């Protein structure tokens, strides 16, 4: 094939732009449409259902099934909803605040050494978390001063102490154990 643009354009000029149809099909299609619609309506009329009402039966059946399901669901016996009260929760062994202070004092030197070895941004996050825990502990202690037998406050103080111990013991130790390497 020749790829010269001028020759291609010359060939395109010789191509016929319009090709006449052998016969026009639209008049025949338009003539058949009303007769087909009339045939479908006659078929539906013979069965007793018009085109507007042919969806009524399936929709009515679906609505009936939904209604019966809703009625059966609403008639099921319900268990009374009970909320767990603080008294029904299992009780945790409460830690004496003085005993917790001794544990904190024992953990403090190793914790301080571990914090000093952390990267600055990690150190800042750990100390910020410790500050949040200690502020919560102070708030709980203040609330317990007003209501010393409140079981919810006692449990919150216990969990706050546990969080502080977890934070203080979660850092790698200052003197890690030496690792043994195989000589293979």
User: What is the per-residue pLDDT across 84-101, written as a single tens digit (0 to 9) for each?
Assistant: 444 444 444 556 778 888
Distances (CA, A) of 68 to 25, 56, 60, 75: 54, 18, 12, 11
pTM of the model: 0.45
Q: Nearest-CA neighbor of 111 among 165, 162, 178, 176?
A: 165
User: What is the per-residue pLDDT across 99-132, written as a single tens digit (0 to 9) for each?
Assistant: 888 888 998 998 899 899 989 998 999 999 999 9
Radius of gyration of the chain (CA): 43
């Amino acid at each position: 094939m020749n790829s010269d643009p001028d020759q291609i354009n010359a060939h395109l000029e010789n191509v016929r732009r319009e090709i006449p149809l052998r016969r026009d099909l639209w008049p025949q299609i338009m003539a058949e449409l009303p007769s087909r619609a009339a045939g479908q309506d006659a078929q539906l009329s013979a069965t007793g259902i018009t085109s507007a009402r042919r969806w009524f039966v399936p929709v009515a059946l679906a609505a009936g099934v939904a209604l019966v399901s809703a009625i059966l669901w609403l008639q099921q016996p319900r268990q009374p909803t009970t909320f767990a009260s603080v008294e029904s929760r299992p009780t945790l062994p409460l830690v004496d605040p003085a005993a917790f202070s001794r544990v904190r004092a024992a953990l403090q030197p190793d914790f301080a050494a571990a914090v000093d070895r952390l990267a600055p941004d990690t150190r800042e996050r750990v100390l910020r978390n410790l500050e949040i825990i200690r502020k919560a502990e102070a708030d709980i202690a203040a609330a317990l001063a007003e209501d010393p037998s409140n079981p919810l406050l006692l449990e919150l103080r216990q969990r706050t102490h546990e969080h502080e111990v977890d934070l203080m013991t979660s850092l790698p130790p200052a003197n890690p154990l030496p690792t043994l390497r195989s000589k293979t």
